[in-house]
Amino acid sequence: MPETPIRALLSSLVAVRQSETQSEVLLLKRTRTPAGEWCQISGSIEEGETAWQAALRELQEETSLKPVSLYSGDISEQFYEAARDAIILAPVFVAFIDQAHKVMLNHEHSEYRWVGFDEAVEMVAFGGQRRVLRWVEDEFVKRTPSEYLLISTAATPK
The proportion of the chain whose per-residue pLDDT surpasses 90, expressed as a percent, equals 77
Q: Are 107 and 124 in contact (CB under 8 A)?
A: no
Domain assignments of the chain as residue spans, ordered by start? 6-149
Domain covering 6-149, topology? Nucleoside Triphosphate Pyrophosphohydrolase (3.90.79)
For residues 126-133, give the mean pLDDT.
95
Q: What is the pTM of this model?
A: 0.90
Q: What b/e sequence results for 103-142 when a residue is b if at least 16 CB atoms lie within 10 Å of its CB, and e otherwise?
A: beeeebbeebebbebeebbebbeeebbeebbebbbebbbe
Backbone phi and psi for residue 52, each to the nearest 5 degrees, phi listed first: -70, -35
Residue 154 has a pLDDT of 60
CA–CA dist 25, 119 (Å, integer): 9
Residue 155 scores a pLDDT above 60? no
68-121 pLDDT tens trace: 999 999 999 998 888 888 888 999 999 999 999 999 999 999 999 999 999 999
Answer yes or no: is pLDDT of 29 > 80. yes
